[in-house]
């Protein structure tokens, strides 16, 4: 599976962990999360996070209390749910973490607790 040894990632990971440790979320992390959102999520959840009301299929992430739960949000993004694709195979753990932390403080959401790599479900 994924090995962080000798990949240069361990250093990035250490920096990210430190940035999250000293929260609030580092600006860099949020910017990264925003880019990941644009590429992977906004096609369905829209640029403003309000979802696709016309079809009524893609729920709004904006002002969504369901995102208050780190574990629920992580579970849905990592493993998918019905029409929501699983991102486990498409994004690295760090990217999942960044996009989850991004959506939880964007689009009118302002949850104070910061998700950690250890919140990513193992399977
Ligand atoms: C192909 C369309 C599609 C893409 C791309 C997509 N989603 Fe979703 N998403 C959905 C659908 C459909 C649901 C509703 C699943 C259900 O409840 O049955 C959903 C639900 C969610 C939920 C739960 C919201 C709620 O109120 O239940 C979150 C959080 C979420 N998506 C985040 C993301 C993130 C973050 C990304 C990008 C990494 C993303 N989604 C990409 C279609 C998509």
Ligand 1 proximity of 34 Cβ (cutoff 6 Å): no
Show the domain range for 48.
9-119
CA distance 57 to 54: 8
CA distance 121 to 104: 17
Structural domain contains residue 2? no
Q: How many domains does the chain have?
A: 1
Ligand 1 proximity of 78 Cβ (cutoff 6 Å): no
User: In CATH, what number is assigned to the domain containing residue 97?
Assistant: 1.10.760.10
CA–centroid distance, residue 60 to ligand 1 (Å): 9
pLDDT of residue 55: 60
pLDDT of residue 9: 56
Structural domain contains residue 3? no
- This prediction has a pTM of 0.84
**Positions in the chain whose pLDDT score sits under 70:** 1-24, 54-56
């Amino acid at each position: 599976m994924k090995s962080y040894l000798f990949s240069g990632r361990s250093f990035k990971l250490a920096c990210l962990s430190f940035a999250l440790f000293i929260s609030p979320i580092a600006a860099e992390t949020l910017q990264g999360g925003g880019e990941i959102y644009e590429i992977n999520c906004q096609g369905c959840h829209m640029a403003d996070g309000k979802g696709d009301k016309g079809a009524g299929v893609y729920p709004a992430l904006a002002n969504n209390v369901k995102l208050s739960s780190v574990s629920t949000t992580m579970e849905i993004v990592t493993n998918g749910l019905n029409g929501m694709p699983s991102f486990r195979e498409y994004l690295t753990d760090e990217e999942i973490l960044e996009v989850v932390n991004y959506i939880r403080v964007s689009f009118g959401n302002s949850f104070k607790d910061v998700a950690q790599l250890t919140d990513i479900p193992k399977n």
